[in-house]
Amino acid sequence: MPAPVIGVLALQGDVREHLTALTGAGAQARPVRRPAELDAVDGLVIPGGESTTISKLVDIFELREPIDKRIAAGLPVYGSCAGMIMLATEVLDGRPDQRGFEGISMTVRRNAFGRQVDSFEAPVEIAGIEGGPLHAVFIRAPWVERVGEGVEVLGRVSDGRIVAVRQGNLLATSFHPELTGDLRLHRHFVNLVRA
């Protein structure tokens, strides 16, 4: 079976790290900055970064409508940190002009765990991923306050806050697996794209 082509939205954030992790997980990884590049992928990663900046750049690069259409058509998408915010139907503590793709029926709170100085690392068990907990890196991370119907909670931190979810072909985490060298979550997404 040929390796799936998975794009990383390359407007801002951890683009290079996700490209490296996806390649290591068995995908053909490519940056996506234009609608024609989006048309050529089997899956998409929305990286961590700054969600309000990503929201603005998606409009500047004329990617909002093409990404919305691909998500509606079933494109597998994984969002980490800011990518989780971009996939949420509701964002708390965001800017009024901030717009995401509204793919996952969830309410997310921006910077919920605190500012940059409050960044931390913690073990997180993820449903469907074997081999013990993932070493999760949280940097100005969101958390999920509420999930809607059809959203599967995949992981929580020790205080019970939701930090990983899936709805259909859409996957999101509050943390940054691309920063740890553990490829299990990226392999999980590559397998989702293959399926």
- Give me the phi and psi of 13, to 5 degrees please: 105, -155
Residue 7 tokens, joined: 């794009």
Are residues 147 and 133 in contact, defined by beta-carbon separation less than 8 angstroms?
no
Q: Which amino acid is at 148?
A: G
CA 31, distance to chain mean position in Å, is 15
Q: What gap in Å lies between CA 162 and CA 173, rounded to an integer?
A: 9
Task: Report the alpha-carbon distance of residue 91 to residue 105 in Å, rounded.
Answer: 11
Closest CA to 21 of 45, 2, 1: 45
pLDDT tens by residue, 137-185: 999 999 999 999 999 999 999 999 999 999 999 999 999 999 999 999 9
- Is 90 assigned a catalytic role? no
Query: For residue 69, is pLDDT > 90?
Result: yes
Of 18, 81, 186, 188, the catalytic one is 81
Q: Is residue 76 left, alpha or beta, with left meaning phi > 0 and alpha meaning psi from -120 to 50?
A: beta
Q: Are 36 and 48 in contact (CB under 8 A)?
A: no
Report how far residue 116's alpha carbon sits from residue 182's, in angstroms, rounded to the nearest whole number.
Answer: 23
Q: Which of 17, 62, 90, 176 is catalytic?
A: 176
Residue 18 pLDDT class (50, 70, 90 cuts): very high
**CB-CB contact of 81 with 109 (8 Å):** no
Consecutive H or E run containing 21: helix 15-24
CATH of domain 5-194: 3.40.50.880
Q: Is 176 a catalytic residue?
A: yes
pLDDT greater than 80 at residue 1: no
Write down the catalytic residue from 17, 178, 186, 188. Answer: 178
- C-alpha to C-alpha distance for 171 and 106, rounded to whole angstroms: 12
Residues 26, 7: Cα–Cα separation, whole Å: 13
Q: φ, ψ for residue 132 (rounded to 5)?
A: 90, 180
In the block, residue with structure tokens 């958390």: 143
> The tokens of 192 are what?
């989702």
Q: With contact defined as beta carbons under 8 Å apart, do 30 and 6 qualify?
A: yes
pLDDT above 70 as % of the chain: 100
Look at the pTM and tell me if it is higher than 0.75: yes
Query: Could you confirm whether 102 is annotated as catalytic?
Result: no
